[in-house]
Structure 1
Amino acid sequence: MIKRTLFFGNPAYLSTKNEQLVVNYPEKEKGEKSIPIEDLGYVVLENPQITITNGLLMKLVQNKTAVITCDQQHLPCSFLQPLVGHSEQTARFRHQLNASVPLKKNLWQQTVTAKIENQAAHFLQQGKNALRLKRYAKEVRSGDLGNEEALAAAFYFQNLFDLDGFSRNQKGVAPNNLLNYGYAILRAIAARALVSSGLLPSVGIFHSNKYNAFCLADDVMEPYRPFVDSVVYDIVETGCNLEEFTTNMKSQLLCIPTLDVVLDGKLSPLMNAMSRTTASLYECFKGSRRKIVYPEFA
């Protein structure tokens, strides 16, 4: 089942009744609205004047709905996740924490290869020469010792957008603002799927920054990034003012969880594909399989 994403950009009072999320607005002319909680996958809270009850938060967490809050720049800055995401959580933690260094290096090699291959496929979709990216993908070694990921990313972003002065930098010029927003949504999707698979989002296979609580989410989301890039590319091609982050732009980026991706030769919503990816990652930690299931950009 495809879960819905709700975005709240205006002041609102959010509560719950009869297993529904109930929305009330300060404006009297706007009537009360309700949505079944079981249908929700993500709730994005942007406006600082939103009030949400603890009862609703409890039900959202029990439904494994990701609650995402935004900062003053309107970028997602926090993610609410359940303490218990899987019935076998403790055993799964042990498998993850006991993963050997060679295994993690192999998993990172698979991840980087899949990411660069998807970047190359995105290039081809936009009519760009992808031969260099394909070469980088073939040269990835265990643990990515040659740092092919960084080399590929530098070439990829230097040539993706036909914009003067653009370089990939979180605080750089637009469309970095759109990329940051899309990647933040993708990160929440990855974290939600990891928790549901009984894994620790903070213990990565490559990322290991002690100040990062989502190292593993940052690992598994890498091959999914080109899907976000594709959405941003389409927005850029419209010729709109990229510095003005409009509601329409946000609505397009908030559709990322429901994007169709190809997984094992079949179309699947991105959020479902991510769950398949994290489930296969656990099986790799457990030793029952050798490859992570990642989508192919098509």
Structure 2
Amino acid sequence: MIKRTLVFSNPTYLSHSNKQLLVTYPDKEKDSKTVPIEDIGVLLMENQQITISHGCISALLENNVAIISCDSSHMPTGLILPLDGGLTQSERFRYQIEASAPLKKQLWQQTIQQKIYNQGRVLEELGYDVTNMFRWSRSVKSGDPDNYEGRAAAYYWQTIFSEFTSFNRGRGGESPNNLLNYGYAILRAAVARALVSSGLLPTLGIFHRNKYNAYCLADDIMEPYRPYVDRIVYSLVQDFGVDALRELTTDLKVRLLQLPQLDVKFDDMTSPLLVGVSRTTASLARCYEGVSRKINYPEL
């Protein structure tokens, strides 16, 4: 079953009853609604006047729902995830903590290879020469000591929006950086949710090690999935132009929030991205356990 992404942009009161999310509105301006909690994958609260009961939060977390909170500018700033990822969680924590440096370097090699390949596929779809991207992808060594990720990123960001604008990628940069930031925040939440459901600690990364970052592993595993966000943002730039994207409107958010339902392709199946990231994190858990040596990433 495809899990739903719910977004609340107006003042709302969220509670629960009989395994249903109960949505009510101030002054009864709209009729109350209910949604089965088991159908929800991500819940995003944008408005500063949303009230959610503690019992509702607990019920959502029991069903592995990622709860995202936004600031006054409607950008995601907080993420609530369940602590309990499964019956063998403590064992999986131990495997993850004890993972060797060579294993982590091999896992990072696979991650960057697939990221560069997927970036290349985005540019190839747009008609650009990507011979160098595919060559860099094949050339990545254990741990990426030659920084092919950086080389590929420089070419990729210089190229992808070049027909529309002179683009520099940066969180505080000009549009469409705001759309990329929003899309990556949704992706990060989906990946963190999948890591917890696979019994892994999202704090302990493969490559990312910032001591102030609670989601280092999510930032690692989301890398090959970023091009799916980039492709949506490119389509928005193509449809509306860069100047029209300076404000992150509701219509733009709706397009970006389709991300969890996008189809991603693996060797043997196609599934929604929200399901696909769970497949990826489950394969990572098997790598930590020593059962496998390969992370299962989708190919764009």
- Taking structure 1 as the reference length, the TM-score comes to 0.98
The secondary structure found in structure 2 opposite 1:142 is coil
* Count of aligned pairs between the two proteins: 297
Matched, 1:109 2:112: no
**Could you tell me which residue of structure 2 aligns to residue 91 of structure 1?**
91
Aligned match of 1:48: 48
What's the secondary structure of 2:7's corresponding residue? strand
Out of 278, 284, 288, which is 1:285 matched to?
288
Q: How far, CA to CA, are the matches of 2:220 and 2:271 in structure 1? A: 21
**Match runs of 1:1-298 below 5 Å:** 1-161=1-161, 162-240=163-241, 241-297=244-300
Structure 2 residue ranges without an equivalent (≥5): none
Counterpart amino acid of 1:62?
E
Distance 1:32 1:175 in 2: 36
**For residues 200 and 214 of structure 2, what CA distance do their matches in structure 1 show?**
13
| Larger mean Cα displacement after TM superposition, 213-222 or 133-142 | 133-142
Once the two structures are TM-superposed, the CA of residue 167 in structure 1 deviates from its matched residue by 0.6
Distance 1:182 1:239 in 2: 17
Give the distance between the partners of 2:93 and 2:85, measured in 1 at CA. Answer: 11
User: Gaps (5+ residues) in structure 1?
Assistant: none
Structure 1 position 122, deviation (Å): 0.8
Distance in structure 2 (CA, Å) of the matches to 1:153 and 1:265: 29
Deviations 1:259-288 (A, max 9, x none): 001012421100111001000001111111
Instruction: Write the letter of the residue equivalent to 2:81.
Output: Q
| Aligned equivalents of 1:165, 1:114: Cα separation in 2 | 26
Name the aligned partner's letter for residue 219 of structure 2. Answer: D
- SS of structure 1 residue aligned to 2:69: strand
In 2, Cα distance between the equivalents of 1:164 and 1:132?
23
What is the alpha-carbon distance in structure 2 between the residues aligned to residue 42 and residue 239 of structure 1? 27
1:111 aligns to what SS in structure 2?
A: helix
| 1:164 positional shift | 2.7
Deviations 1:157-213 (A, max 9, x none): 110002333210100000000000000000001100000000000001111111111
Deviation, structure 1 residue 27: 4.2
Letter of the structure 1 residue corresponding to residue 262 of structure 2: L
